[in-house]
């Protein structure tokens, strides 16, 4: 579980995060949603320790990140898997080498053990034959799946995904969403996803945190988001006619 | 103010190069790759430029000696001195600032733009050590490149002088052996090592701390070339004043 209390972050005079408090539960897919400029990426980077924050605290299973020593932070980071928006695969390595990279860095496994583990996770993300390809030879969807494989190869306790569906077609997006949810359930990982994608919200949002102007405007789940009266949430989530209809139908069905 | 900030950030980066080292089994591969990219990959252009500039120095010297009292072996002597003291260590380093420096800045800058550096940092890896230390170690072989430039520069001078009809082989060989001061070699290689450090670190700094997208990668490469060249020229002046002055 990740517990965030009263998080503040500024860049110069711009106050980006204005006191966010929330929790992200273990074994659940937790979504952070909000308009562009609402502070989602800054929030995610604070959670990852890429940005320092002025005030507040972030606790990973009770361990407050800012109070950890440098070695303790390194140890904690080895328990984190991250899927970047652009996949962030290492260009100079093959797909198999990319996946084995965290194992090479943080474990004392033999080469054959690492290859077996890479085989296993690449099969898990439905890429059994991609080992020797370079990232540039893979499609966007494949790159995302490799990034997921790399993120989970070292059995992380926490998985972060920054807009995992951006740039993907709807079908591939659903495959990626389902994969993340299955992995979260299977390994009981605390998963935090930063997303714009309303399909993801409806499909896998076991917990949803809605940010607006650097504040937590609303939180709930994919079920409660249909019934919420919060105007900021409804105008963001149900901005298209299609989603308005879906919402109406859901409410009628469940009355 | 920005310059002061950059200078401070540069020295903090230097400190971080040696902090929290990457696992040796991984680092070994990175060092070998950088030796291939930065040293082996530069030999061709260095050999080509060295040989022909050596030839030009010999021809120019020969053409400018009109006084019959000046011995013909001066062509070899002047070529040797020019090549060893300035051309090989300094001129080649400026060229390397363009070739190797731009490569380092653009490769690290692209990693920044595509979030690969963020990926390293999230994993708890000291990205500066991971990216810059192998380049620093690879460039400790830079004197090898400069030695080749020295050898081929003098050889190019010999070829131009003898086959161009500007002097005899005996005169040229006498010239390159005449009044040889071993400390000049030490001076040249001290400069080379300092320039190697500059070539590894300034382009890395501009790549690592760049902000923006693909366009900014190009701008960072240009800025890195300019500043690497400026620092090399200034340090060349300083080291020459200190060591030979």
User: How many residues comprise chain B?
Assistant: 245
Which of A84, A88, A97 to mutate: most B Cβ within 10 Å? A88
Hey, are the CB atoms on A70 and B123 less than 8 Å from each other?
A: no
Q: CA geometry: angle at B194 spanning B189 and B198, to 5°?
A: 140
- C-alpha distances (whole Å) from A228 to each of A151, A218, A243 are 34, 9, 14
* Residue A196: per-residue pLDDT: 81
User: Given this model, what pLDDT does residue A192 score?
Assistant: 94
For residues B39-58, average pLDDT: 96
- CB atoms A105 and B20 under 8 Å: no
Residue B101 is predicted with a pLDDT of 96
What average pLDDT score do residues A190-213 get? 87
What average pLDDT does this structure show over A214-226? 87
**Tens of pLDDT along A107-146?**
889 999 999 999 988 988 888 888 899 999 998 888 988 9
**B3 is a domain residue:** no
Query: Where on the phi/psi map is residue B164: left (φ > 0), alpha (ψ -120 to 50), or beta?
Result: alpha
pLDDT > 90: percent of chain A: 35
pLDDT band at residue B36 using 50, 70 and 90 as cut-offs: very high
Residues of the domain holding B219: 23-243
Answer whether residue B189 is part of any domain.
Answer: yes
Residue B2, in any domain of the structure: no
pLDDT tens digits, one per residue of B190-222: 999 999 999 999 999 999 999 888 899 999 999
Question: Cβ(A99)–Cβ(A153) under 8 Å?
Answer: yes
Alpha carbon of A103: minimum distance to chain B alpha carbons (Å): 11
Q: What is the arithmetic mean of pLDDT over B22-35?
A: 93
Q: For chain A, how far is it from start to end, CA to CA, in angstroms?
A: 34
Average of pLDDT values for A42-47? 91
Q: What is the dihedral of CA B10, B11, B16, B17, to 10 degrees?
A: 80
CA B137 to chain centre: 14
Residue A247 distance to chain B (closest CA, Å): 37
Q: Report percent pLDDT > 90 for chain B.
A: 83
Please name the member of B22, B118, B125 whose beta carbon is closest to the beta carbon of A50: B118
- CA atoms within 13 Å, Cβ hemisphere of A176: 30
Q: How far is CA B203 from CA A8, B30, B106, B132, B222, in A?
A: 34, 17, 9, 10, 10
pLDDT of amino acid B107: 95
> What are the boundaries of each domain within chain A?
89-155
For residue B48, tell me if it sits in a domain. Answer: yes
**Span B109-123, mean pLDDT?**
92
Q: For A114-123, A174-183, B20-29, which range has the lowest pLDDT when averaged over its residues?
A: A174-183
- Cα radius of gyration (chain A): 19
Asked if B110 has any chain A CB less than 8 Å from its own CB, the reply is yes
Q: Does the distance separating the beta carbons of B115 and A85 come in below 8 Å?
A: yes
Condensed to tens digits (0 to 9), the pLDDT of residues A71-89 reads: 888 888 888 999 988 889 9
pLDDT at position A236 over 90: no
Overall domain count for chain B:
1
Pick among B119, B127, B211, B217 to test the A interface (most A CBs inside 10 A): B119
Chain B: closest CA distance from residue A74 (Å):
5
Q: Is the dihedral of CA A170, A172, A175, A178 positive or negative?
A: negative
Pairing between β-strand A14-24 and β-strand A2-11 as defined by DSSP bridges? antiparallel
Average pLDDT over residues B122-150: 94
Q: Are B99 and B203 a contacting pair, CB within 8 Å? A: no
Q: Where are the beta strands (DSSP E) in B47-180?
A: none
Number of A:B CB contacts under 8 A?
51
Our CA-based measurement puts residue A82 at a distance from the nearest CA of chain B, in whole angstroms, of 7
Average pLDDT over residues A226-232: 82
Domain membership of residue B206 (yes or no) is yes
User: Is B28 within the bounds of a domain?
Assistant: yes
- Between B114 and B1, residue with greater pLDDT: B114
CB-CB neighbors (< 8 A) of B103 in chain A? none
In a domain, B146, yes or no: yes
* Any domain includes B117: yes
What would the pLDDT profile of A150-170 be if each residue is shown by its tens digit? Answer: 988 988 899 999 888 887 788
* Residue of chain A nearest B124, judged by CA positions: A74
pLDDT(A243) > 90: no
Q: A104 and B26 in contact by Cβ < 8 A?
A: yes
Q: How confident is the model at residue A18 (pLDDT cuts 50, 70, 90)?
A: very high
Which pLDDT band holds residue A249 (cuts at 50, 70, 90)?
A: confident
Mean confidence (pLDDT) of chain B: 94
Closest residue in A to B24 (Cα–Cα): A105
């Amino acid at each position: 579980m990740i517990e965030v209390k009263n998080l503040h972050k500024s860049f110069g005079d711009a106050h980006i995060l204005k006191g966010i408090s929330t929790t992200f539960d273990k074994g659940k897919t937790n979504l952070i949603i909000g308009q562009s400029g609402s502070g989602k990426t800054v929030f995610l980077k604070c959670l990852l320790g890429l940005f320092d924050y002025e005030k507040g605290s972030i606790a990973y299973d009770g361990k407050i990140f800012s109070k950890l020593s440098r070695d303790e932070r390194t140890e904690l980071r080895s328990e984190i898997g991250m899927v970047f928006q652009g996949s962030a695969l290492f260009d100079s390595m093959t797909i198999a080498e990319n996946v084995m990279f965290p194992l090479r860095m943080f474990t004392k496994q033999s080469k054959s053990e690492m290859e077996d583990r890479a085989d296993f996770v690449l099969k898990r993300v439905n890429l059994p034959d991609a080992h020797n390809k370079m990232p540039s030879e893979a499609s966007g969807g494949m790159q995302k799946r490799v990034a997921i494989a790399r993120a989970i190869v070292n059995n992380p306790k926490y998985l972060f995904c920054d807009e995992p569906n951006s740039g993907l077609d709807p079908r591939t997006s659903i495959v990626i969403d389902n994969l993340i949810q299955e992995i979260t359930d299977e390994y009981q990982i605390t998963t935090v996803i930063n997303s714009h994608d309303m399909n993801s919200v409806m499909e896998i949002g076991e917990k949803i945190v809605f940010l607006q102007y650097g504040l937590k405007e609303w939180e709930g789940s994919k079920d409660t988001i249909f019934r919420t009266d919060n105007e900021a949430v409804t105008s963001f989530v149900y901005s298209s006619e299609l989603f308005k209809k879906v919402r109406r139908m859901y409410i009628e069905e469940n009355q | 103010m920005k310059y002061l900030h950059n200078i401070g950030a540069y020295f903090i980066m230097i400190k971080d190069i040696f902090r929290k080292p990457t696992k040796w089994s991984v680092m070994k591969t990175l060092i070998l790759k950088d030796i291939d990219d930065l040293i082996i990959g530069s030999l061709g252009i260095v050999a080509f430029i060295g040989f022909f500039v050596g030839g030009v120095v010999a021809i120019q010297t020969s053409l400018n000696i009109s006084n019959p009292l000046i011995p013909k072996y001066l062509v070899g002597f002047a070529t040797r001195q020019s090549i060893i003291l300035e051309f090989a260590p300094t001129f080649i380093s400026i060229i390397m600032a363009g070739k190797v420096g731009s490569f380092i800045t653009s490769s690290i800058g692209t990693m920044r733009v595509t979030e690969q550096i963020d990926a390293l940092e999230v994993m708890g890896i000291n990205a500066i050590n991971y990216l810059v230390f192998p380049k620093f170690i690879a460039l400790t072989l830079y004197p090898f490149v400069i030695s080749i430039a020295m050898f081929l520069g003098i050889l190019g001078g010999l070829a131009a002088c003898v086959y161009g009809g500007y002097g005899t082989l005996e005169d040229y060989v006498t010239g390159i052996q005449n009044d040889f001061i071993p400390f000049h070699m030490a001076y040249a290689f001290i400069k080379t090592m300092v320039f190697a450090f500059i070539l590894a670190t300034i382009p890395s700094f501009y790549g690592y701390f760049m902000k923006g997208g693909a366009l900014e990668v190009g701008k960072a490469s240009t800025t890195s070339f300019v500043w690497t060249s400026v620092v090399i020229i200034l340090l060349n002046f300083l080291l020459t004043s200190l060591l030979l002055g």
